[in-house]
C-alpha cells in the first residue's frame, strides 16, 4: 500500500493532466507551481516535497470532475497518507495532512483571506467544516508543523497561474529523494 518515488512520478504522468478542480491549471501544473513557490521561498526538501504532494490524494480517487460540485469532500489530505507514510517522515506528511485545516485557520485569522479564495475553495471550505472558531484556531496553531502547513496552504492558493513557467517534475525528484533518504535514516532502515 505504499508508493515509491517512481510510482509518484508515474501517477503524475498518468493522471496529472487532469484539470485541477475549478482552476485554469492541471493537477501537475498546480503541484509543480506549489513546489516551485516553496523552493523559491527557501523551504527545505521536506516542505518542498509537501508542497509538491499536498494534493496527491486528488489523483487517488475516482470521484471525477469536481467533487465539491457533487457536495463531496474527497478528504484528499488524508487519502494519500497511507501511500506516503513508508516513504516520508512527519516533516513532509504533517503539512500535507494539515493543509486543509490551514485554510480554515487562515480564514479565521487573516482579514480578507476567505474573500480571496477561489469558488471551488469556498465550496470545499464549507464541506471541510468551515472557518475555525477561536478555540479551533488556537489548537491548530499549537500543533507541530502547523506553520509549515500554513506556508504550504499559501503556496497552494497562489499556484494556479495558467501561464506560469516552472521547472519540470524531474527537477523536484531530488527533493523527494532527499526526504526519503532522511526518513530511512531516521527509522534505521
So what's the pLDDT on residue 8? 97
- In the chain, the domains with their CATH numbers are 5-187 (1.10.3210.10)
pLDDT digit string (tens) for 30-81? 999 999 999 999 999 999 999 999 999 888 866 666 666 666 656 678 789 9
If one counts every other C-beta atom within 10 angstroms of the C-beta of residue 142, the result is 8
- What is the tens place of the pLDDT at every residue in 106-133? 999 999 999 999 888 888 898 899 999 9
pLDDT at 70: 65
Q: Residue 87 pLDDT more than 60? A: yes
In 3D space, the residue among 58, 100, 51 whose CA is nearest the CA of residue 83 turns out to be 58
Share of the chain above pLDDT 70, in %: 90
Closest CA to 56 of 151, 187, 135, 169: 169
Average pLDDT over residues 150-179: 96
Q: Indicate if the alpha-carbon torsion angle 39, 102, 21, 92 is positive or negative.
A: positive
Mean pLDDT of the region 128-155: 97
Average pLDDT, whole number, for the chain? 91
- What is residue 74's predicted lDDT score, i.e. its pLDDT? 66
Burial 68-98 (b: 16+ CB within 10 A, else e): beeeebbebbeebeebbbebbbebbbbbbbb
Share of the chain above pLDDT 90, in %: 74
Residue 63: what pLDDT? 60
pTM above 0.95, yes or no: no
Amino acid at each position: 500500500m505504499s508508493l515509491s518515488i517512481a510510482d509518484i512520478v508515474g501517477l503524475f504522468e498518468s493522471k496529472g493532466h487532469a484539470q485541477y478542480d475549478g482552476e485554469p491549471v492541471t493537477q501537475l501544473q498546480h503541484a509543480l507551481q506549489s513546489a516551485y513557490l516553496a523552493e523559491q521561498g527557501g523551504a527545505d526538501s521536506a516542505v518542498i516535497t509537501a508542497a509538491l504532494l499536498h494534493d496527491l490524494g486528488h489523483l487517488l480517487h475516482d470521484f471525477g470532475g469536481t467533487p465539491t460540485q457533487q457536495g463531496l469532500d474527497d478528504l484528499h489530505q488524508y487519502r494519500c497518507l497511507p501511500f506516503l507514510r513508508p516513504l516520508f517522515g512527519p516533516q513532509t506528511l504533517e503539512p500535507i495532512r494539515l493543509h486543509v485545516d490551514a485554510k480554515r485557520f487562515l480564514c479565521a485569522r487573516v482579514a480578507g483571506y476567505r474573500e480571496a479564495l477561489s469558488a471551488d475553495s469556498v465550496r470545499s471550505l464549507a464541506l471541510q467544516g468551515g472557518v475555525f472558531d477561536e478555540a479551533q484556531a488556537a489548537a491548530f496553531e499549537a500543533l507541530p508543523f502547523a506553520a509549515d502547513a500554513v506556508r504550504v496552504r499559501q503556496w497552494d492558493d497562489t499556484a494556479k497561474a495558467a501561464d506560469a513557467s516552472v521547472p519540470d517534475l524531474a527537477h523536484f525528484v531530488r527533493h523527494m529523494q532527499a526526504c526519503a533518504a532522511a526518513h530511512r535514516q531516521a527509522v534505521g532502515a
